[in-house]
């Protein structure tokens, strides 16, 4: 059964890993990059607020006061870890809600409609992640030579938000701690633990800000001054 929006709001927590120092963009921690007079982390928290009961944000330890000042009580702020995986684990230990939504601070353009769809799917299937189709041919390479092609028919490019039942996340993280697993994102950890993850249609404009070019797209195309 899919919960109605009021019930979803009452049982869902959002975790926002935002502790990265933004070394590839080169403009300081990405959480505090400014768009239209607002920080990226503020934009993400405002997008999440109508959809969840609580929001927990993990930021670099030296930026706790700044995060408190910018978020003005809209989210609870904690010092993050050395990796995204560690930051999510820190925040997971601070919550007891049944459904856990994880949304990267580097994706400030996700719509509330997408957030709600992923929460719905997380409740229904236990684990869900937003994805978009692959449009570009993928080559298999060895020693800088193309050795073959990979069919994109069954490939998806994953995004966030992602949503999970809390017991599934606890199970996956427990396995990871026991086995020493390290992954780039949460759905990989869950799949590695043997738990299926539902793919939810994402949004093309829900880009991830990783490089200076991504930031240029974000500021000049998606949200110009």
Write out pLDDT tens, residues 8-35: 555 899 999 999 876 666 677 889 988 8
Q: At what angle do helices 166-179 and 84-92 cross, to 10 degrees?
A: 130
160 contacts 209 by C-beta, under 8 angstroms = no
- The Cα 99–Cα 215 span in angstroms is 31
Mean pLDDT taken over the chain: 91
Side-chain half-sphere exposure of 100, counting CA atoms within 13 A:
25
Domains assigned to the chain: 5-222 (3.90.550.10)
Segment 63-77 mean pLDDT? 94
- The Cα 112–Cα 95 span in angstroms is 22
Write out pLDDT tens, residues 86-134: 999 999 999 999 999 999 999 999 999 999 999 999 999 999 999 999 9
């Amino acid at each position: 059964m899919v919960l109605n929006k009021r019930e979803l709001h009452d049982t869902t927590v959002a975790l926002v890993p935002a502790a990265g120092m933004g070394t590839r963009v080169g403009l300081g921690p990405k959480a505090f990059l400014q768009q239209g007079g607002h920080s990226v982390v503020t934009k993400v928290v405002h997008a999440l607020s109508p959809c969840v009961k609580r929001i927990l944000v993990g930021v670099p330890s030296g930026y706790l006061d700044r995060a408190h000042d910018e978020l003005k009580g809209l989210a609870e702020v904690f010092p993050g870890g050395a990796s995204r995986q560690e930051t999510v684990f820190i925040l997971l230990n601070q919550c007891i809600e049944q459904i856990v939504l994880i949304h990267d601070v580097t994706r400030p353009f996700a719509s509330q409609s997408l957030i709600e769809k992923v929460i719905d799917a997380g409740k229904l299937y236990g684990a869900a992640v937003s994805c978009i189709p692959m449009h570009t041919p993928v080559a298999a390479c060895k020693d800088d030579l193309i050795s073959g092609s990979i069919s994109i028919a069954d490939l998806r490019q994953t995004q966030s938000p992602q949503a999970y039942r809390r017991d599934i996340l606890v199970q996956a993280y427990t396995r990871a701690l026991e086995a020493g697993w390290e992954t780039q994102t949460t759905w990989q950890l869950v799949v590695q633990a043997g738990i299926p993850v539902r793919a939810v249609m994402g949004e093309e404009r829900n880009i991830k800000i990783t490089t200076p070019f991504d930031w240029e797209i974000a500021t000049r195309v998606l949200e110009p001054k």
